[in-house]
Amino acid sequence: MKAIYPGSFDPITYGHIDIIERASKIFDELVIVIMHNDEKKGFFSMEERIDMVRKCIENYDNVTVEIGYGLTVDYAKKIGATVLVRGIRAVSDYEYEMQLATANMTLAEDVHTIFLLSKPEYSFLSSSTAKSIAKNKGDLKAFVPDYVAEKLKEKFQ
């Protein structure tokens, strides 16, 4: 079974990697889809994000990364994925994700959403948190892999 894990990954964090690792054990194929959003200006370019994700997933044989455009469910159907993987950190994430999942069910009832709960040590972690710590020259070891930390430091120099 093929699944996608869509998101902005701006940048990828240990929380994302935890979801990727667990989802890669559940599905035959997992595609990380960095979704293009015209309404948001990303901190990192799409090319920089795909580079960081590729570096972080190189040890997973059944995981790839792509850039996606349009509606997530349409992209899933286009590449033959029947499952959307989403991570949930807190109740506020669940409320938002439930709205998205319900809309996606209406648009494509054959594409299912699976929620994976964050491990407690990642429940506070977000890309925004990592960027804020990097901006203030804090220690990123608990938040992002070294490669991503270097890219964040470069951006803030």
List 40, 78, 135, 153, catalytic entry: 40
- Pick the catalytic residue from 49, 89, 131, 151: 89
Known catalytic membership, residue 127:
yes
The neighbouring-strand residues paired with 33 are 6, 66
On whether the CB atoms of residues 4 and 73 are closer than 8 A, the answer is: no
- Give the residue from 107, 157, 118, 150 showing the smallest Cα distance to 135: 157
Q: Which residue in 16, 49, 131, 151 is the catalytic one?
A: 16
Does the active-site annotation cover 16? yes
Q: Is 89 left (phi over 0), alpha (psi -120 to 50) or beta?
A: alpha
Out of 49, 127, 131, 151, which one is annotated catalytic?
127
**Residues designated catalytic:** 16, 40, 89, 127
